[in-house]
Amino acid sequence: MSIFSPGFQGRPRPQSDRTPPGQYLTEDFPVLSAGPTPRVDLTRWQFSITNETGRQYSWSWPQFMSLTQERPHVDIHCVTRWSKLDTNWQGVSLDDLLETVETQAEFALVSSYGGYTTNLPLEDLTGGKAWIVHTYGGQDLDPEHGGPARLLVPHLYFWKSAKWVKGIRLLDYDEPGFWESAGYHSYGDPWREQRYQGD
């Protein structure tokens, strides 16, 4: 007989030591979009990084796809409390995209086809922590999940991972994006439960 009585545990066990506080695990892949899904033709698709002096660095789809491809295997955490473990993506590291970019900027404002924006420190896009991904689970990224390509920054809440990513502006000052202007936390670390301003 077990000496542990399931009825008398002090507190619920976390579902995994990879589940941040206040999150529950899901096997689904919920779609969260603040507006309609933009359709972006690959012949017109362009991704650009603009530095603080206004200099623009751009990649067409073939140029982007010819860069070194990485396969991040990561856990993702949405501020609406679902977390999904072991997601598999393919894309290009921001380290590679930023390699030729001249900048002293500290902040980044990411923008999407469709108008969505989100901000983060430039430091959080470098050091092997962020990618522009075009494949999920071995398939082309669904338009609903951000295809043709989205940002993936899994160490922050998933609203920072802009779908249908179009460009990144590097700035000397922090400029809040769409959800950050609506009261969401400016940084959004799921392990510190930084959901809303003041958390």
Ligand X SMILES: Nc1nc2c(c(=O)[nH]1)N[C@H]1C(S)=C(S)[C@@H](COP(=O)(O)O)O[C@H]1N2
Q: Which two tokens mark 131?
A: 């990618």
Q: Is 162 in the site for ligand X (CB under 6 A)?
A: yes
- State the minimum distance, in angstroms, from the CB of residue 158 to Mo ion: 5
Q: Which is nearer to ligand X, 162 or 171 (CB)?
A: 162
Q: Kindly report the backbone phi and psi dihedral angles of residue 195, in degrees, each rounded to the nearest multiple of 5, phi listed first.
A: -80, -50
Interface with ligand X (CB under 6 A), residue total 18
- State the minimum distance, in angstroms, from the CB of residue 102 to ligand X: 27
Tell which one of 134, 145, 185, 195 touches ligand X (CB under 6 A): 145
CB 60 within 8 A of CB 178: no
Half-sphere exposure of 196 (CA within 13 A, CB side): 4
Q: Kindly report the backbone phi and psi dihedral angles of residue 148, in degrees, each rounded to the nearest multiple of 5, phi listed first.
A: -70, -30
- State the minimum distance, in angstroms, from the CB of residue 159 to Mo ion: 4
CB 80 within 8 A of CB 32: yes
CB 164 within 8 A of CB 172: no
Q: Is 32 in the site for Mo ion (CB under 5 A)?
A: yes
Tell which one of 47, 61, 131, 159 touches Mo ion (CB under 5 A): 159
Stretch that binds ligand X, among 25-33, 95-103, 124-132, 168-176 (CB under 6 A): 25-33
Residue with tokens 């545990």: 9
CB 47 within 8 A of CB 58: yes
Stretch that binds ligand X, among 6-14, 26-34, 87-95, 126-134 (CB under 6 A): 26-34
Residue 33, binding choice from ligand X, Mo ion, none, Cβ under 5 to 8 Å by partner class: ligand X
- State the minimum distance, in angstroms, from the CB of residue 68 to ligand X: 24
CB 106 within 8 A of CB 122: yes
Q: Which is nearer to ligand X, 103 or 135 (CB)?
A: 135
- ω into 148 cis (within 30 of 0): yes
- State the minimum distance, in angstroms, from the CB of residue 6 to ligand X: 33
Q: Is 34 in the site for Mo ion (CB under 5 A)?
A: no
